[in-house]
Amino acid sequence: MEVKMGYREIIKSAIDAGREVLPEHEAYQICEEFGIVYSPTRFATTRDEAVEAAESLGYPVVLKVVSQAVVHKSDAGGVIVGIASQTEFKEAYDLLFATVKKKVGDVAIDGVLVQKAMPKAAEVVVGGLKDDLFGPVVMFGSGGILVEIFKDVSFRLAPLDRDEAMRQIKETKAYEILKGVRGAPPSDLDALADLIVNAAELLSAIPEIKELDFNPVFAASDGAVVVDARMVI
């Protein structure tokens, strides 16, 4: 089962092992230390552990493969969503392994991530990188696949305060959706601004992290939740 480590221990372990991309569950452990809210998640190394995790979290859940050889999980068939019962979960678990093996071969798989499915909300992206000239930079914009299509993003030097994060949000087209459209409630902009501030603090505090990608973040009316995390060291 998952063992909690501090971010320094996580980073050192990854560097010692020669890993460039942190497993998603380790990225979430770092998020927790910086007050970044994420969907409740459990890491499991066996089928029984995974079933127990799903039962503990409560359905519906999402199932994700954890493997250093699988960087883009969705492309490899390594993500299954909308699992609504234990019977469905057991079927999904077997399907996940079979699909990944079919698409990428007989690669080493460390385990699976079982994640509580969050209610749908406006999707945004919060990310960042270490610029050679300017240092840590935090990014915000339209999330999901829209970030690649519309390139609707805004950048700020890190660290920054909530007022500056709010200005960053308002620079994007995503802001129009976040205000609420077609009867949808407005998103919790304060929570979203706090997430940006905390992501910027994380980038500033951990020099080994070169890239950060929270995509998507569900910007709901009562909070902002990371549902997928990627950290490159």
- Structural domain ending residue among the three candidates 116, 131, 163: 116
Given this model, what pLDDT does residue 147 score? 59
Helix (H) or strand (E) holding 178: helix 174-178
- Tokens for 90? 């057991």
- CA contacts within 13 A on the Cβ side of 227: 24
Residue 94, pLDDT > 90, answer yes
Residues 22-25: contacts with CB within 8 Å, 24+ apart?
22/230, 22/231, 22/232, 22/233, 23/66, 23/68, 23/110, 24/64, 24/66, 24/113, 24/228, 24/229, 24/230, 25/66, 25/113
Domain span at residue 90 reads 7-116
| Strand, helix or coil for residue 79 | strand
The CATH number for 75's domain is 3.30.1490.20
Confidence band for 206, pLDDT divided at 50, 70 and 90: very high
Clarify whether residues 26 and 41 are in a common domain: yes
- Structural domain ending residue among the three candidates 116, 141, 164: 116
Instruction: Identify the bridge partners of residue 65 per DSSP, sorted by sequence position.
Output: 112
- Structural domain ending residue among the three candidates 86, 116, 146: 116
Residue 150, pLDDT > 80, answer no
Mean predicted lDDT score pLDDT of the chain: 94
Given this model, what pLDDT does residue 129 score? 96
Which of 192, 179, 177 lies closest to 224, judged by CA? 192
For range 126-141, the mean pLDDT: 95
Confidence band for 143, pLDDT divided at 50, 70 and 90: confident
- Tokens for 160? 């920054």
Instruction: Identify the bridge partners of residue 125 per DSSP, sorted by sequence position.
Output: 141
18-75 pLDDT, tens digit each: 999 999 999 999 999 999 999 999 999 999 999 999 999 999 999 999 999 898 898 8
161-199 pLDDT, tens digit each: 999 999 999 999 999 999 988 778 999 999 999 999 999
In the chain, % of residues over pLDDT 90: 87
Is residue 1, in this structure, part of any structural domain at all? no
Residues 199-202: contacts with CB within 8 Å, 24+ apart?
199/34, 199/36, 199/126, 199/127, 199/128, 199/138, 199/158, 200/128, 200/136, 200/138, 200/156, 200/158, 200/159, 200/160, 200/165, 201/34, 201/158, 201/159, 202/30, 202/31, 202/34, 202/36
Given this model, what pLDDT does residue 148 score? 63
The CATH number for 166's domain is 3.30.470.20
